[in-house]
Structure 1
Amino acid sequence: MSYCLNPNCPNPQNPETSKFCLTCGQKLLLKDRYRAKKPLGQGGFGKTFLATDEDKPSKPLCVIKQFLPQAQGTSTLEKAAELFEREAIRLDELGKHPQIPDLLAYFIQDNQQYLVQEFIAGDDLGKVINKEGNFNETQIRGLLNNLLPVLQFVHQHQVIHRDIKPENIIRRTQDRQLFLVDFGAAKAVTTTSLHKTGTSIGSAGYVSPEQAIGRATFASDLYSLGVTCIYLLTEVPPMNLFDPGDGNWIWRDFLREPVSDNLGKILTKMLAGGTNRRYQTAGEIIKDLQSQIPTNNSVPKTAAKIVATSAQNQAKPANQNPIYSELLEIKSEFGQTGKQKQPNSPKQKSSSNSTRPKSQIDLELEQLKSEFREGNK
């Protein structure tokens, strides 16, 4: 099917091979290349459509974004048009990152602005949580470890996204990789712009206090990502997770599953109202997340288990400690010179030891005794 992009067309659906809309007569191929297939959604600045790139033999899928603002008024429309063009510029700069959709084209046709970008097959996290339910701690840690490097890349390019929320994070179906999308609200940062008050923009509930008054910083994106995390943990709208009376987040009261104190502290710092009390960079959060993961240089599991078991056994009284008894037996059999004493009679082991199943430590001790005996014959 071909879909007519004329906003006023009463019957936009057309046959697959049509070059012009059968109802309104508008040309169906954008730039003689991109054919819209069906609508995907609509936002504040325009509509998005699933499309194919017919200039390539494989006709790969792509996304057409059409500038179609809902707001009215000359100044508002001009600002909206500026933001739409800005999104194209940001995508052109940032689309080289593997987790940001690549910009394929930006142009004006029939007096309307369009941008075409890479299609990511998957669902945004708003749809994911509706289908699968709330996230647990493991999923939240995975999300942070997956997205924070993307934000680090964006911020290193002196760009603030300003609209991070579940709907702007897509989970690709084939490998569950996360993608950051919708840079329509993104802002390029200069040395002076960080200290100037600009336009207040963002999504209600996810926007930071400083961004709400037009003074967004890099830490504003970290705040929004923190709000995204607590929403995914609770399935409760962000506005209901904040107590305006006390000025505190109360998201812990709505948890479906408990989270560790470590993750709780990270999220609390991401959600701090004052920017000086909040994480300043994505790298700081990555460092705190990684500091809580055991490294490869830690004690091997088997050795750690033996050390722990030995420590527990050493804490027992000698008459209750089977390992201690085994060591005494070795000591009695081998003198200070290493010569083996002639055995008198077989030792009668306690009933507790005779019925006790042999552990790995028991086997190792028996092997040790055997080696001593062989070496002293």
Structure 2
Amino acid sequence: MSYCLNPRCPKPENSDDVKFCLSCGSKLLLKERYRAIKPIGQGGFGRTFLAVDEDKPSKPHCVIKQFYPQAQGTNTVQKAVELFTQEAVQLDELGKHPQIPELLAYFTQEDRQYLVQEFINGANLAQELANKGAFNETQIRQLLSDLLNVLQFCHARQVIHRDIKPENIILRSSDHKLVLVDFGAAKSATGTALNRTGTSIGSPEYVAPEQMRGRATFASDIYSLGATCIHLLTGRSPFDSYDTNNDTWLWQQYLKVPISNSLTNILNKMLASIPARRYQTVDAVLQDLNQPGANAAIASQPQNQTSPTLPPTYISPTPSQVDLELEQLKTQFLPGGKSKPQNNQPRPTTNTSTNQSEIDKELEELKAKYMGNNNP
């Protein structure tokens, strides 16, 4: 079958032996070689079609992206033009990586822009989750190992993907490798941020806080990959695993299968809402992921309990830290705001001794509470 690419065609389906649409008369072959077969996606700025390259004897499948903005407003349309053009530029450079689709053509025909890229045969991870259920630790570690290397390639070329999510990761049928697709939202880290016009970039469930404000960095991609992992581990939307009131991720309690503390810590650091507390580079994540003994940690992980639910950046204080912090806190309530003298000289008896004793008691209880968190 041939599918007419004229957006206004009343009857776009045609047989595959004709060169012009029988309904509207539009040319069916792009650049005399690419024939659209069926639509496979549509958004506010364009449509995507499965196609065939008629110029090659094997007639391999490919993907046609048609720029067809439906949004109103000069700024929005101009934004869409920039993004579409940029995707072609990014793919031309990044498509050299075996886990990124190759750009086959980029051109204008009948006043409409087109991008033709390699077709990746396989299911995306959202489909894999729906069909096979939640991922386990081994699958997540393999996912991270696969995709962090792809991101390393992108970031080395100053490209931030900005839209990492399960739908944009395809498990390729031929070799079971993960392929990162849809660079329509990608931007150069050295260029002007494209999302300052007010148009949302990326999928809200997976977007880092700073990216929502138009300040995407390499660490923003790391955050999105972390959010993708917890979605695949829990089967829940990242929105449902985040406590906005306390700025805390609560995903561990929703795990389908327990995971090791080492992977939990890695994911929590990837998901830190404050960029400075997050991994800054892909190399840093890979270093932690490939720490010796990681497999032993997986094997020793109890199968009937989950890891403790801790805030992403929480570090259990040591006894010395607790003593120091309580001593500092105590000085705020003692007369004069000063700590006890170090020479332990007797202090004059005053009516504050009772209050001080009560403060000491309360602080000791607080200390016991914090120290209790260190117990197994």
Category of TM-score, reference length = shorter chain = 0.7 to 0.9
The answer to whether the aligner puts 1:124 opposite 2:127 as a matched pair is no
Matched position secondary structure for 2:8:
coil
| 98-107 vs 45-54, greater mean Cα deviation | 45-54
User: What does residue range 74-113 of structure 1 map to in structure 2 within 5 Å?
Assistant: 74-113=74-113
Q: Sequence identity, in percent?
A: 62
| Structure 1: unaligned runs, 5 residues or longer | 296-377
- Is residue 2:246 matched to residue 1:224? no
Query: 1:149-192: CA deviations, max 9, x gaps?
Result: 000000000010000000111111122110001011101111x8
- Cross-structure match for 1:327: none
TM, length-normalised to structure 2: 0.75
Give 1:50 deviation, angstroms.
Answer: 0.7
Contact 2:241 2:250 in 1 (8 A): yes
Structure 1 segments of 4+ aligned residues over 2 angstroms from their partners: 196-200, 292-295
Q: In the alignment, is residue 276 of structure 1 matched against residue 276 of structure 2?
A: yes
Residues 101-149 of structure 1: CA distance to partner in whole angstroms, max 9, x if unpaired?
A: 0000001111111000000000111111111111111110010011100
1:294 deviates by 6.9
Q: Report matched runs for 1:320-335 at 5 Å.
A: none
Q: Unaligned regions of 5+ residues in structure 2, if any?
A: 296-376
CA contact (8 A) 1:99 1:178 kept: yes
TM-aligned CA distance change 1:198 to 1:74, over 3 Å? closer
Provide the secondary structure at the position in 2 that maps to 1:291. Answer: coil
Deviation at 1:22, TM superposition (A): 0.5
Q: Deviations 1:288-337 (Å, cap 9, x if unpaired)?
A: 11114579xxxxxxxxxxxxxxxxxxxxxxxxxxxxxxxxxxxxxxxxxx
- Aligned partner of 2:291 in structure 1 is 291
SS at match of 2:37: strand
Superposed CA RMSD in Å reads 1.6
Aligned position for 1:328: none
| Number of residue pairs aligned between Structure 1 and Structure 2 | 293
The residue identity in structure 2 corresponding to 1:58 is S
Measured at CA, do residues 198 and 25 of structure 1 come closer, stay the same or move farther in structure 2, by a change above 3 Å? closer
CA contact (8 A) 1:198 1:214 kept: no
The answer on whether the counterparts of 2:222 and 2:282 sit within 8 Å (CA) in structure 1 is yes
Change (3 A) 1:40 1:293: farther
Can you list the C-alpha shifts for 1:77-98, whole angstroms capped at 9, x where unaligned? 1111110111000000100000
Are 1:213 and 2:213 an aligned pair?
yes
Match of 1:201 in 2: 201
Does the residue aligned with 2:230 lie in a helix, a strand or coil? helix
What does 1:305-316 align with in structure 2 at a 5 Å threshold?
A: none
1: CA distance between counterparts of 2:197 and 2:259? 37
**C-alpha separation in 2, matches of 1:197 and 1:52:** 37
Q: TM-score, normalised by structure 1?
A: 0.75
Opposite residue 125 of structure 2, the aligned amino acid is L
Q: Matched residue of 1:143: which SS? A: helix
SS of equivalent residue, structure 1 residue 49: strand
Instruction: State the Cα distance separating 1:198 from its structure 2 match.
Output: 7.4
Q: Give 1 or 2 for the bigger CA radius of gyration.
A: 1
Name the aligned partner's letter for residue 266 of structure 2.
I
